Amino acid sequence: MNPELLQTFLKIVKYKQISQAADSLYITQAAVSNRLNRLESQLGVKLINRVKGQANVTLTKYGQRLVPIANEWMQLVQETANLKDMASFDLLNIISSVDINTTILATILPDLMEDNPILRYSLHTGDTQQIYSAVENDNADIGISFNKINRYHIESRKIGEEPMRLITGVDSDFPDFVTTSMLKRTNELYVPWSEEYTNWHLMCWDDNIKPLIQSDSATNIPRYLRFDKSWTIVPDSAVHVMKRLDQPYRELKLLEAPPALTLYALKKKDRHLRQASIDRLILQLRSSIFKYNQQRKSNEA
């Protein structure tokens, strides 16, 4: 299939007008119409509904079906064009949660890239099920998760732990040392970090009482610490990001300490392609996380 014709079709889809599609491609409207007619002729179906006197166009049911196919085809064309440039590099696809991606990986990967300049990373985010499915379906080489799920085709390896820290607003009047009974669930900014953490949380607070907010990520948590008596429990790496960004918070000591989050690296058992690079990166991540935790403990001493 001619990439030029598909590119023109996708421009029409994007702008919904022949004229704007032509402008974006730096060709005439007649050329756009000619390409569209050629594509429709090749496929034997009508892709676009055009009404005389109206600038906007709409997709037929065949046009709607072609959109994802055309996007995937153009991506393959681009990857093929880049094949020569990428031949000198080793690309690894990594999928993790948003929090792991923006804290742990953002801290560790730049150093690893300096140590190995021919290695390239493609970073993706998802929830636990999406992470495991991506690894299982060969859409990712490595998954990193706080949850361990038994999947026949996936091998999981512990690569580190994240201490959990209790923080509140900088102007809160909590004492420095608190117990769970002093923390109201209605003031909590809750993130269900892992199954183990959730089970611990259920022993400390009534799950039937709704928190102030519940989120699948700590990314926006700092914005809500301005509410009186608000509190949250987040990984150590998230607190370090807040500190680096000068986001105000106050740390409290919780007497009933939550369990540390276990960090798992996931790979497919029969993933022979790039296996050496995958295993090497997992070992490097484990070593880097250990050094990071040792440095953190040294700074706190």
How many residues are given for the chain? 301
CA–CA dist 65, 80 (Å, integer): 24
Are the C-beta atoms of residues 212 and 230 closer than 8 Å to each other?
yes
Indicate the residue type of 128: T
Tens digit of each residue's pLDDT (9 = 90 or more) over 169-190? 999 999 999 999 999 999 999 9
| pLDDT at res. 65 | 93
Highest CATH level, class, for 164-259: alpha beta
List all residues 6 or more positions away from 95 whose beta carbon is below 8 Å from its beta carbon. Answer: 123, 124, 125, 126, 130, 131, 134, 135, 139, 140, 142, 143, 144
Strand order in the sheet with 119-125: 119-125, 90-96, 142-145, 261-268, 154-162
104: closest CA among 203, 199, 226, 236? 236
Highest CATH level, class, for 3-83: mainly alpha
| pLDDT at res. 60 | 93
CA–CA dist 66, 13 (Å, integer): 10
User: Can you tell me the mean pLDDT for 75-93?
Assistant: 72
Tens digit of each residue's pLDDT (9 = 90 or more) over 28-79? 999 999 999 999 999 999 999 988 778 888 999 999 999 999 998 888 887 7
Q: Do the domains 164-259 and 88-159+263-300 match in fold? A: yes
| pLDDT at res. 234 | 97
Tens digit of each residue's pLDDT (9 = 90 or more) over 200-239? 999 999 999 999 999 999 999 999 999 999 999 999 999 9
Residue 270 clears pLDDT 80, i.e. is over it: no
Residue 84 clears pLDDT 70, i.e. is over it: no
For the question of whether the overall pTM of this predicted structure is more than 0.85, the answer is no
Backbone phi and psi for residue 122, each to the nearest 5 degrees, phi listed first? -115, 115
In percent, how much of the chain has pLDDT > 70? 95
pLDDT-derived band at 273 (thresholds 50, 70, 90) equals low
Q: Which fold has domain 88-159+263-300?
A: D-Maltodextrin-Binding Protein; domain 2 (3.40.190)
Structure tokens at 125: 């985010």
* Annotated domain spans of the chain: 3-83, 88-159+263-300, 164-259
User: Can you tell me the mean pLDDT for 278-289?
Assistant: 87
| pLDDT at res. 271 | 64
Cα separation values, 129 from 87, 145, 169, Å: 32, 10, 33
CA–CA dist 129, 47 (Å, integer): 36
